[in-house]
Amino acid sequence: MKNSRFLFTGLLMLFVISLNGQDELAGMRRNAISVNALGTSPFVGVTYERIISPKGTFEIGVGIPSVGLGFKLYPSGIQEQKLLFHVGATANVTDLGDGVLIGGILYLAYVPVGISFFSSGGFNFGLDVGPSLVFDEDESTFIPYGNLKLGYRF
C-alpha cells in the first residue's frame, strides 16, 4: 500500500507541473475517449484522456476489473497529423477476487515508451511498451507490459 501511495503522489506532481501553456493548444481537440488493451486497465478497458499542456496528457481508465491513471510526455510537443514519440508513467489497481490460483488485489506501475497519433479529424491512436512493476501484499515482480489504444478526440 505504501508503494501505491508513492506512485499516485508522483503522478499527481507531474500533472500539476504540466499545467502551463494552454494557449498554445488553441483549436485542438483536448479530450479523448478510447478503447484500450492493457495500459490503464490490465485487460480491456475504456480510457478518458485530456491534453493538459503542449507536451503532456493525463488519462484515467476503467476496465475489467480495474481502474488506473497515467501521464504521458511528448518531448517534441503535441501536434496533429504527425506520429509522435512519448514516455510516461501509468498505475493501476486490479481486484482479482478470491480465486484459487490467482486472487486478491494487484498494483501495477508501468513506464510506457511509444508512439501516438492525433488526427485533425479526431482519430486517436497509441502504442507503447515498457517495464512494469507488479506487486501485492506479499511480493513484487518486474514484467514487460504494453498498451494499444484506439479512440476519438473531441
User: pLDDT tens digits, residue range 108-145?
Assistant: 999 999 999 999 999 999 999 999 999 877 889 999 99
pLDDT digits (tens, 9 = 90+) for 50-75: 999 999 999 999 998 889 999 999 99
Q: How far is CA 130 from CA 3, 23, 104, in A?
A: 19, 32, 24
Cβ–Cβ under 8 Å, residues 44 and 34: no
* Chain segment 5-35, per-residue pLDDT in tens: 665 666 566 555 555 555 567 778 999 999 9
Structural domains in the chain, sorted by start:
2-19+29-153 (2.40.160)
Q: What are phi and psi of 9, to 5 degrees?
A: -65, -45
**E-assigned strand segments in the chain:** 31-38, 44-53, 56-63, 66-73, 83-95, 105-110, 113-118, 123-135, 140-153
